Chain A
């Protein structure tokens, strides 16, 4: 693989790592492991940990995918590997 290709792939992996970290924090940490602690905080009528498990993580997932699609599009153009 040429240097340009290597740089593109490591930039891609860096982006994936960041997004997967948020994916893990909002569902597995906020929604499950730390939910009992977060339930002490209220979001309207929702206990916060319960909200992450039943609502919040789903909204965050959607935002993550669209952010990913956009950021990847930018990377494609930056490294000149985008589709014609």
Chain B
């Protein structure tokens, strides 16, 4: 069977499975719709949370980013996992004890203020909608590359599928579909990694393979990779940090706090039966997430090795008789010269996968020195030795550009793995994007129907009426997300940073103070949220334009790019959170303390006893 047919079969089967689950798990009440009836087992919830959390960015982009950044890419690995420690200890169990459906409802009740709740709804909507656009774009990319349909068609199909199971199934349908999606995406991620780890190191476990020696030699994989990339003028893989160490520190902190403050993740912990389940469920979620996150650095380093080896035979891998990539220990040990004229791959003899990806424009070759061979190196290097060697060899500049997003999607093709593995990766990428989109839609729908429609405009709405409002707002959100995915305002990459920045600087501090500071009053909380949000938005918009519209950047007005101690706009959320805490405490000290019954409520939230089923009563 050819690749196209297998891909259709695998992706089609996975979609049939998701829809089947949705039909089986239809939601009948608001409690089932928002919180799956509060009856999900902690391990099941952990798996669903993992699928919810791992988006197209984790699945498709992260390993490519790490491959480019090297050691510094660890900020994504630590940042996107370390947030679960904060979530498990500082937020999840207390919010579960509080026992309501949504994050804005907690903020509104705890700070006895409709205004506080409305500010939280706005933060939630901006964070969730910006995040969802990236998922829809990811769905479009995966469809257009693997199924040969247009990107637009891909987004329509994606919208239809999400609509089917999110609108009818609610949180219950989403939860069980996400369990299935987790299984698809984790297999799709780890199976190719196991194959590649075996090829390169003989160790089937990628996490161990990354720290092992290359097959048939006693040279460690990372040492060899460091040597190859430094020879070619790139930064040493295991030590390179883009930007400053301070920026890596703050960036990691922002991702951690942002992770803990993202409403669609927090909401998952309302679906478990008990406070103690909320604690352990975060641990299970992290185990399932870690399966992918500890594999990703292996995928990154090994794919980078394979890519260099494909275009430069002096690295020491060769194509075996059966068409797979295999190690040649003699060449590896000999440290052959990567600048030798015959080492560079002849363009006409390039493998099939390069031809396929050239069509998408994500891989480009330009023969600058006209020798018909591909020279892939860093032509802007500060390494004088590498520069001199490249000039002596007659190289006239780097000739191959590789988009970072290819690393995961083309990884099985680069390693010349069988077609069914490639098809599985397509299904995995779609599962990652769809599961996150569904979780975000759930958070948006709950905020609109529960916190705005019921909480503000129509307090007397019936349960059936609220359920209908929830489904309608979800359908509207799908259409808006689809529209923005089809007409990307050119800010897909920047928006994800904004979503984390907003969650970190507005929602996380407000919730945390609501639990840990009994005397925090509404004036302090509202002022803090607005200050944190304003600081973050101004810093991001100064660099990237107001609402990411090109030409409206005002970076000179804040003192030039990265003016705040060299911190990049992607990393600013943690500083925004600090501003939030400071402003909240100052305003709190100047205004009167919260009423007695609110302080009693905080004391009650702090102890697990008396936890009841989650409900929506205001």
Where the two chains meet, the residues of A that have a C-beta atom closer than 8 Å to any C-beta of B are: 1, 5, 8-9, 12, 16, 19-20, 23, 27-28, 31-33, 35-36, 39, 43-47, 49-51, 53-55, 57-59, 61-62, 64-66, 68-69, 72-73, 76, 81-84
**What is the CA–CA distance of A49 and B222 in the complex, to the nearest angstrom?**
13
Chain B hits for A72, CB < 8 A = 93, 276, 279
Other A-B pairs, 11, CB within 8 Å; known A8-B606, A19-B85, A55-B294: A39-B238, A45-B211, A46-B210, A57-B77, A57-B82, A58-B77, A58-B78, A69-B276, A76-B609, A83-B610, A84-B609
**What is the CA–CA distance of A44 and B207 in the complex, to the nearest angstrom?**
12
Query: How many contacting A-B pairs (Cβ < 8 A)?
Result: 142
CB <8 Å contact, A53 and B286? no
CB <8 Å contact, B609 and A61? no
Interface locus among B105-113, B245-253, B355-363, B542-550: B245-253
B79-122 with Cβ < 8 A to chain A: 81-82, 84-85, 88-90, 93
A-B contact pairs, 13 of them (CB 8 A): A9-B606, A32-B248, A33-B249, A50-B71, A50-B222, A55-B210, A59-B294, A61-B85, A62-B283, A65-B279, A66-B283, A69-B88, A76-B609
* Prevailing SS type, chain A contact patch: helix
Whether A46 touches B74, Cβ cut-off 8 Å, given contacts A32-B245, A65-B85, is no
Please give me the residue from chain A that is nearest to B214 by CB atom.
A45
Whether A62 touches B297, Cβ cut-off 8 Å, given contacts A44-B212, A45-B211, is no
Within the complex, the shortest CB–CB distance from A15 to chain B, in Å, comes to: 8
Within the complex, the shortest CB–CB distance from A43 to chain B, in Å, comes to: 7
CB <8 Å contact, A32 and B249? yes
Q: Which 7 A-B pairs have the closest CB atoms?
A: A45-B220, A53-B74, A65-B283, A69-B279, A44-B211, A54-B297, A46-B211
Interface string of B359-390 (1 = CB under 8 A from A): 00000000000000000000000000000000
Within the complex, the shortest CB–CB distance from B291 to chain A, in Å, comes to: 10
Is B302 part of the contact surface with A, judged by Cβ < 8 Å? Answer: no
Whether A68 touches B88, Cβ cut-off 8 Å, given contacts A31-B78, A83-B274, is yes
Whether A47 touches B238, Cβ cut-off 8 Å, given contacts A57-B82, A61-B81, A82-B609, is yes
Please give me the residue from chain A that is nearest to B256 by CB atom.
A27
**What is the CA–CA distance of A6 and B282 in the complex, to the nearest angstrom?**
26
**What is the CA–CA distance of A82 and B84 in the complex, to the nearest angstrom?**
23
**What is the CA–CA distance of A66 and B276 in the complex, to the nearest angstrom?**
11
Please give me the residue from chain A that is nearest to B66 by CB atom.
A54
CB <8 Å contact, A69 and B280? yes
Chain A hits for B294, CB < 8 A = 55, 58-59
Whether A1 touches B78, Cβ cut-off 8 Å, given contacts A33-B249, A72-B279, is no
Q: B223 is contacted by which of A45, A83, A84 (Cβ under 8 Å)? A: A45
Whether A68 touches B82, Cβ cut-off 8 Å, given contacts A44-B211, A53-B74, is no
Please give me the residue from chain A that is nearest to B275 by CB atom.
A83
Is B287 part of the contact surface with A, judged by Cβ < 8 Å? Answer: yes
Chain B hits for A55, CB < 8 A = 207, 210, 294, 297
Please give me the residue from chain A that is nearest to B72 by CB atom.
A53
**What is the CA–CA distance of A8 and B279 in the complex, to the nearest angstrom?**
17
